Amino acid sequence: MSALHITKNNFQQEVIHGDKPVLLDFWASWCGPCRMVGPIVDEIAAQRTDIKVGKINVEEQRELAAAFRVMSIPTLVVMKDGQIVEKAGGARPKDQILSML
């Protein structure tokens, strides 16, 4: 499965009311560290069927970025049952991202 493009329009359905834990990647196209983390997040999305992976472009989805208090990007958030259980800022290697799950 590939990473989902999360917007304020599908956030409730895909993240809050989803049946799996969700890894969210807050990013922007101009962000160098985001471009490093993006392929890792895509790889996790393709390999892990037990979770959902979503990407939130902070330039397009300012309301969601504000709701999650995203102050720097990339920011990775893990949600379970509609609640934030992990949050980390900055580029991270794949093993550290997986350990958040």
Radius of gyration of the chain (CA): 12
> Residue 65 and residue 27: Cα distance in Å, rounded?
10
DSSP reduced 3-state for 67:
helix
Helix (H) or strand (E) holding 91: none
- Which residues participate in catalysis according to the annotation? 31, 34
Sign of the CA dihedral running 81, 26, 64, 13: negative
Residue 86 β-bridge partners: 78
